[in-house]
Every structure is written in structure tokens, then in C-alpha cells.
A and B are shown apart, each in its own frame.
Chain A
Amino acid sequence: MALRNSYLIIFSFLISSFTEARINLPELLTKQSVSNIRLLTKDGKFTYYQKRSGSLLFATNYKVQEILKSEIGTEYTIYSTSSRKKMVILQNPNFHNFYSLRAKEKIFLLNYGESSPSEIGLGISPVLHLNDSWISFFDPYTKVISFENTTNSSLKFSIKLNNRLNPYFVPQVVMSDDNTVYYTDLSEVGIYGVLEFKRNLSKSEIIYKAKSPMMKIELCINQGSLIAGEFGFHFSPIGSSVSRSLLPMKDFSKRENLYSSQLNDLGHLVCDFDKDNIALIQNTGTMNSPSFDIVNLNTNTKKITPLSEMKTISNIINMDGTLLTQEKGKYYIVKGETDFKNIDTLKIKAKEPDSKESKESEESNDE
């Protein structure tokens, strides 16, 4: 009997050691409906959420303030970066009754953790750059990317795109320094290009052209390097790659390859959640039967580590340092330690022994 039991134990141990541990992502649970949340800071101090009435609210330290008010049904989205100095709010009062991918929204700028926004313009796809010292946004009708300094609003410049073919194209934009912008554009035949804009010259120069119109390019900045991801789409046999160029850039063609794949990944590079790591959505299936999951790419070792095993991932979100993904309407925490549901639960103090009782017990012990 004992022998049988020991065999069972050994057998179970062997099975478990050969079986890979499944990655089970915890669901994001919050005190209120997640669908109302617009930003939860990592330390749990600040919560930005909206209401059906059209208000955007800011909660901290058990105080709630209304930041913005608009018509019933207004949708807000909030953008922030790891610099934690500024935040951008987009306001769409016609979210439920006017479906237009290109409709411009009001853009507000706000100091991180505060509640007094200032309106800065109309556009889509806002991005904060260079420690939140610059903001850019895009006008899909005039096809102009506008840049404004977040401290001194009189410092502005803009870049006009060449794209004529795709009315829904939104460029990737990164600023490497006050004088230099890298962005993507489409050529007359719809091929992605990476361009470098120099503010002092007010001139753009093309530094890279994709080899096919059936691929996209994503850009981001990680640890002083420009990260460029190239991903094929629409069943094209192009594959994927991620590369790095040190900044200031000398020659884009001499960039270092960090990762490549024969399959078309979704990409969706997230470069600012950790200094040595980039997250992306990889095709872990085949060309004809794709399945998508989040992986971590270590920029030093170039090692790929899976972060999810859901096979149906379509997004990665960096919410103030917590990596999230949404699947079947629910949010899951991919990387992050914060327990958002209990973050501000009052902790019960450890009960201190009563002084009289302690004296009595001492006396009885002496006896």
C-alpha cells in the first residue's frame, strides 16, 4: 500500500514537472464597473471615471471631483505615460449616435493627478512625448500632425502627411528630442515609410520604405532607442520583425534586429512599461490558423517570453505601468501587482494588549 502510494506520488510529480504551467491571467476587478473606469494609477491613488450623465470624474483620497461635463452619453478616453506629468483627455459627445472613425474630438490637457483640464484643440490620436513636455495629435481631414509644447503653448509646429490613398490611416509619431520627430506616412502607392522631421529645417526626409504595401510599421522609444516593428497583414507572406536604432540616429539601415518571425504578428508594441522589455502581440499559431497572444521581448537578451495563453488576444494596454488586455469584454492583468479592488481597504490595526490585563497576568505568573 505504502509502495503504491509512493508510486502515485512519484507519478504525479513527473506529470506535473513535464506539464507546462498554464498562464492564467487574473481578471481586473475594481470597486465600480470597469466600463466606467478611464484611468487607475498604479499606486491606486487616483481614479478617473465617467458617468452616463456625461461627466468625467476624478477620485482620490475619498474625494470626488467633476473634471468635465458634457451631454448624456459622452465618452472619454485618457492617455498618460510613464513620466506621470501630464494626461490627455479626449471627449466625444456623439459616441453612441454618430459613428465616424475620423470624427475629431475635443482634446484636453491635464496635470497628472489633478483635476483642471485645459482645452488645446480638436483631433484624434493624441500622444505625449519627451517626458510629457510635448503633445501631438492628428487631423485626419487636413492630414496634419500638430505639435504643441505642454508648458509653453506658443511653441507649436506641424507636419503635413503625403497619404492620399487611405482615408483611415493614422500615423505613428515619436519625438526623440526637441528638434526631431520620427513618423510614418503612406506613399502614393500605399507603401509605409518612416520619415525624420527636423524642426530647425522644417523638413522631412524619408529614412525607410517598407518593401510592400501589405505591411505596417510601428514606432516607439525605449531606453533612448527608436524601436521599429514591421508586420505583414491580410495573409501576406511577409512576416514580422522588431529592430532597434540608437538615438541620435545615424543610419536607419544599420539598425539592430531584435526579433523576427515568418508569421504576421499583430504587433501593438508597448515600449514604456519596463526599461528592458517590450510587449507585443505575437501570432503563436500558423498563417492559415492564427492565434494571438502577448509576449515579452527582452531588449538585452532578445528572448521571447509568453505573457498570455488565451489565443484570442487583440490588444495590450499600458495603464500607468499595469499591463492589461481585454478579451470577451473583460479586462485581465497581464503584468502588475496592484490589487485594485482592495487597494484602499482600511487595514485593521493589530490589537494592542490592555495594560491592566497585562499587569494582572504578570502578577499571576509571579505567583
Chain B
Amino acid sequence: MKLKTSHLFLLNQFCKNFCFLFLIFYLGCPAAKAFGEENPGVIESLERLLNVERKQFEIAKSKIQSNFKSLNNLSDSTEIKLDPQFMRSILFHSDDRFLQLAQKDECHFLSVLENNLLKTSDGDIENVLINFKNKLSVNENASLPIQDFFDLIYKKKCLNNHEYSTLFNISNFQKTIAGIKFQVPSNLSECESIHKNWLDNSYTPYLCQVQQILRKSKKQKLKDLYSEKIPSLQKTYIDNLCTNINSPQRFCEIYLKNDVWNKVINGEAPPYKLSYKCQNMLGKTELTANDLKTCAAKLNSDPSICELKGNKNFQSDFPLQNCEKISDSLLKSKLVTNYHDCPGRVDNESITNIHRLINHFSPRKINSTVENCASEANYTFARLNFDLKHEEGWPLKVCYLDRVKGKEDCIPYIPGSRPEEPLSEDQVIAKILYQQKGAAAKTKCRIVDSKNYNPLRSEFKFGCFIVYDFETCTTLSCSKKVIWEEKSMADIKFIGSPTFDYFPTAFLNERYSFLNMINEVYGTQGRPIKNLTDLKFYLDKIPNGIIHGVGCVEDLIPEEFQRNVINQCHPMPFIIDAYIVKNGETWISLRAAIDDIHTPRLVQWQNIYNSVSAHSELHPLKTWTLYGIKK
């Protein structure tokens, strides 16, 4: 008997065991794999899970789709439910945001599904896989076109969803949107409450469908159609809502930033820092609190909007500044700007700057309209001269042929119409017509845009009209006509253009330079500002103190204006009323006289220093033309 410990025996045993193990391994692995594939474990890669789900869905779909049903076939069916495999595919392949929206209740889920916000592994859902009990109470599976599914299901439950669909169809959509209140929050807890309300709101899935069309649809016509029907502020709101429907923090972010727009809403900053911009953007003269809130939200969510909008009909330098930069400037800005002026229509940068300075220290009520924005600036400067009894300082005159004297006479006038001002243009012309032309004592003259003046219309048949082109007329260059009783008064002429020293150019006329006139009339005081430290000190320590000056625009705003030849300089008055320090860099909030008053720009100190230096070199007295001014 051979011992079982012999080498041959051991070798034999080893081979047997090895082959057995090999066989087990060879047969077992695929089986394990197959087993694992169909039932992935608790810890599996997402990719693997998706692959498994995709295969299972395909299998279920091919099994069920063979049993394609139409609406008529299912009229007697009961307990209609979505197939579990179909549901699993939806859970795997839909956007998490919309899954969150769908989880409130069954009706919510159905409306989210109806609005094409849920997807399967096939992408958009065109057919729905359902389980149901037929009229023999036998469980069946079927595939149904999605619209048929909803027609069927809405007869049995979630009846309101059907009505919502009607409200949000193409023909009713605009009216429905107009009726929805898009509430803008002013603090965090209010915002979270508003967000929760939107999650529960039955309209939200319909709004998000529109948002998805505007963002992703390849059908340009449909996109344009919706884009036209939704006002831009609501569009921004809906976009923010649907993008952040699963995150109240992100939804609230844009409403709770530390920007000037929110500070105005919260009452921490004066309304004029926001209201004039919003009036112009919305095309409204009166704004509600909600208008302001929605506008502020828009400025926060779309900062580039400020670059192109906000100064329509109030001509100024273009393009404007970004909303974020404007907000940075306005946060600390001190200049009182409770009006809207139009530098491009005044065409005299000194007068625009003077108007802004005087209305900072001695604000008056200004009704800012397209018709009177230029004349308000002229009025401010004219009054400054008349208050100082310096009639020569205001050379604008109306000349006419005086019948009594037999020669031409000229009297001062202030452009524009002001009921309380006897020197206003319309009253001066009416007086001339009364005294010289035999007009009635109560004759009133009307200032009319030449685009609107039509002598054939009855309203222009009788009376006095001062006609000029509002778009091109400026203080410097304006062709005006006086028409009375349909006749043009050719002998009435408008002459004069205001020339004066902003900073004195000679000691003789120092008193009547603007620098001294404002001190005399309004009790202000000024001193030169020589460096950045002094500028910061002045703005920080003096509550109503601001800084004004004149510099060469080629150095002040070199992005837009270029010096081509030696000693080329276009003097530009400006006002500085704040500074900010960002990333270690000091930026100064400046309004050049050509800038929109509600759009200050951030410039570096070296630009201001270079521009004032260059101007000072050309100044007759080599004056340093940068002054702090306070009251």
C-alpha cells in the first residue's frame, strides 16, 4: 500500500483541488457578475447603477410597449399607476431641482411631469409606462402617450391641474403672468418663507417649464414668443426661482446683498439713488414699492443692464457703468441728486457742474422731465448771477424791434417754462408780443418740439409758440422760431452764450468767477486739495463736504478721449463725493459733467492728478483747479 503522503499522491491531490477550484472560479465569476449586475450591492459606483437601471428600464419598456394602449382602451381601468421601473428611471435621470418640486404631493408630481421637467434614460418623456387593473380586475402593464395619460388621470384626480394647464397655454399665458405676484423679500426669514411658498405653489411647475424653454429650447420662435410676453423683471425673477428652487440660500442671495439697491429698499439710503434709474428703465414716472424692489433685484442679478439703460432721453456720455460699480460708488456717495439732468442737452459742462453743486448745498424741488431738464440747469446758473446782481453774467437775451425806440432792444431770458419765474422764455416772449405786437394781455406762449409742431392742426392755429428741435437744441446751439397767430416773428432773435470763469483767470474778474460766486450766494467755503490723503481726509471728516475741479478730459477719462497733439486739452469740470478701497486699491467716485448724474464712475487718483496738472499748466494763473467745498 502506498502511503498517501507520497509525492505522486500529493501532486495528484493538488491537481484535483486546483482543477476543482479553477472550475468553480471559472463558472462562478460570470454568475456572480450576472447576479451582481441585476442586483447591485449597497456600495456601487453611480455609473454602474445608471447602467443597470438603463438596462432594466429597456427591458421593462420593451416588454410593456408591446402592449401599447390608447385612451379608449383604458376608460374602464382602475388603479392606474406609473410603472415602478419607469418611476425609478425618472428618479435617476431627472434634475434634482425638479424632483424636489415634485415631492410635495401626487398632484404636484403630475404637474411637474406634465411640464416636461422630468426625464427618463430616454430623455424627454413622450410615452408613459403604467400599471392598471383592467375591467376584469387583472393587473396589466401598458404604454400610453403622455398627453393621453394626463387626459385620463385628470378625469379621476388632480382636477385643478387641468385648469392650470389652460391658464398657462400660449393664449392665456401673458394675462396669467400679469396676475401673479412676484414677491421680493427684504430680509432672510421673509425670503425663506417666500421660497417655501413657491415650492408649494401649484403655478411653479408651469413657470419653470417656461424658464426651461427660454434657457434651452432649440425652437427660436417659441423662445421669442415667451420672451416677448414676459416683462424683463419677471423673467429674471422666474429664472432665479427655477434655477434655485431646491436651494433657498441661493434663491435669497441676490436679494440680500450689501449693495446700494437693497439699502434703498430697506430705507438705509435715500430713494433717489435708485428711483431715477428705475423710472427710466421701467418707463414710469411714478414707482410703487414693489416696482423698486423688482428693479433692485434686476440690477443685482443682471449688472450689465446699467451699462446700456437708465439715461434714455437724458443725454449723457455712453455707455454707462456696470450696476456693481455704480453700487460701489453710490454706497458712500454724498452728492444730493434728487433730480435727473441732461448734460448732452445743456452743452455747457460748467453750467451742468454748477447746477449739481448748487443743488447739493441748496436743494430745491426739480421736476425732471425731458422738456425741462436742460432749462433747469440754465435756471440754476441764471439765478446765481441774478442773486448776486450780476446781470452781465447771464448774457442770454431775446432781441426784438422796439417800435417806440425805433431800434433793436434786447432783454434777458432763461430758457424753458417756469410759471413762477418772470424771466422764463415763454413769459418774456409773451410780454414782447403784448408790448410790441398788440397781443392780448393774457397771451401765453407754449414751447413746442419742432417734431410735434404742425401748423395745419387746429391747436396750432391760434396763440404763441416757441418752436425748436428738442433733440438737437442745446444752450450753445439752437435754432428757435417764434410763431404767433400762424405768423413767424422774424425780428425776434435769441442771442448770447454764457462765457464766464469757473476758476478765476485774472485777478480783476475774480469776484465773478463761479468759485467765488457760490461762496457769496450760498455761504460755502472752499480750499485746494493737493493729494490723495487730503482728499480722503476732506471727504471723511466733513459731512456735507465734496470736491470739485476742472481737468483735461484726455487724462481724466483716457479710455474714451485721446490726446493726439502736444498741449491738447478739453477742460472737464467734475465732482468727487466718495472713495472706496478695494483689493488694496483706492478708487474715487467721480461724476464728470458729461456723465449721467446717477452713474458715477470709479477712477484712480493718478488720472485726477494728471488731468488737473495738465489743465493747471495751461491755466493763465497756473491755478491748481481741484477744490474741496463745504457749507
Residues of A near any B CB (own CB < 8 A): 34-35, 37-40, 52, 73, 75, 77-79, 94-103, 141, 165-169, 189-190, 213-214, 216, 231, 233-236, 264, 266-268, 281, 288-290, 292, 311-312, 314-315, 317-319, 324, 326-329, 331
Interface residue ranges of B599-631 to A (CB < 8 Å) = 601, 604, 606-607, 609-610, 613-614, 616-620
Q: Which residues of A contact B620 (CB under 8 A)?
A: 52, 73, 96
Residues of B near any A CB (own CB < 8 A): 304, 307-308, 315-319, 321-322, 325, 344, 347-350, 472, 474, 476-477, 497-502, 505, 550, 553-555, 558-560, 562-573, 582-585, 593-594, 601, 604, 606-607, 609-610, 613-614, 616-620
* A289 B564 Cβ-Cβ under 8 A: no
Of the residues A39, A96, A101, contact of B566 by C-beta under 8 Å = A39
* B613 A166 Cβ-Cβ under 8 A: no
A178 to chain B, nearest CB (A): 24
Q: Which residues of A contact B502 (CB under 8 A)?
A: 99
Bound Cα distance from A317 to B568, whole angstroms: 10
Which residue of B614, B616, B618 has the most chain A CB atoms within 10 A of its CB atom? B614
Q: Which residues of A contact B304 (CB under 8 A)?
A: 214
Bound Cα distance from A326 to B563, whole angstroms: 9
Q: Which residues of B contact A314 (CB under 8 A)?
A: 554-555, 558, 563, 607, 610
* A96 B505 Cβ-Cβ under 8 A: yes
Known interface pairs A96-B501, A99-B550, A315-B554; 19 further A-B residue pairs with C-beta atoms within 8 A, sorted by A's residue number: A79-B565, A98-B476, A99-B348, A99-B572, A101-B349, A103-B476, A167-B316, A167-B317, A167-B344, A213-B319, A214-B304, A216-B559, A267-B562, A314-B554, A314-B558, A315-B562, A315-B563, A326-B563, A328-B609
B595 to chain A, nearest CB (A): 10
* B317 A166 Cβ-Cβ under 8 A: yes
A327 to chain B, nearest CB (A): 6
Q: Which residues of A contact B476 (CB under 8 A)?
A: 98, 100, 102-103
A234-B322 in contact given A95-B571, A331-B566 (Cβ < 8 Å)? yes
Of the residues B307, B573, B610, contact of A234 by C-beta under 8 Å = B307
Bound Cα distance from A103 to B475, whole angstroms: 11
Q: Which residues of A contact B505 (CB under 8 A)?
A: 73, 96-97
A57 to chain B, nearest CB (A): 14
A55 to chain B, nearest CB (A): 14
Q: Which residues of B contact A102 (CB under 8 A)?
A: 347, 476
* A101 B594 Cβ-Cβ under 8 A: yes
The closest CB in chain B to the CB of A79 belongs to B565
Of the residues A213, A233, A318, contact of B560 by C-beta under 8 Å = A233
The closest CB in chain A to the CB of B318 belongs to A166
A35-B558 in contact given A214-B319, A289-B583, A328-B610 (Cβ < 8 Å)? no
Q: Which residues of A contact B562 (CB under 8 A)?
A: 267-268, 315
Q: Which residues of A contact B614 (CB under 8 A)?
A: 326, 329
Give 23 A-B contacts (CB < 8 Å), ordered by A residue: A38-B566, A39-B566, A95-B571, A98-B348, A98-B350, A99-B571, A100-B348, A100-B349, A101-B349, A101-B572, A141-B472, A141-B474, A168-B318, A168-B594, A231-B559, A233-B560, A234-B559, A264-B559, A268-B562, A312-B610, A315-B555, A317-B568, A328-B613
Of the residues A52, A98, A190, A266, contact of B559 by C-beta under 8 Å = A266
Of the residues A99, A189, A289, contact of B593 by C-beta under 8 Å = A99
Bound Cα distance from A329 to B315, whole angstroms: 32
* A317 B319 Cβ-Cβ under 8 A: no
* A289 B558 Cβ-Cβ under 8 A: no
* A317 B501 Cβ-Cβ under 8 A: no
* A289 B585 Cβ-Cβ under 8 A: yes
* B613 A329 Cβ-Cβ under 8 A: yes
The closest CB in chain A to the CB of B605 belongs to A312
Q: Which residues of A contact B567 (CB under 8 A)?
A: 34-35, 37-38, 77
Bound Cα distance from A236 to B559, whole angstroms: 12
* B318 A327 Cβ-Cβ under 8 A: no
Of the residues A167, A266, A317, A331, contact of B558 by C-beta under 8 Å = A266
Which residue of B558, B582, B604 has the most chain A CB atoms within 10 A of its CB atom? B558
Q: Which residues of B contact A290 (CB under 8 A)?
A: 604
* A75 B308 Cβ-Cβ under 8 A: no
Bound Cα distance from A13 to B519, whole angstroms: 62
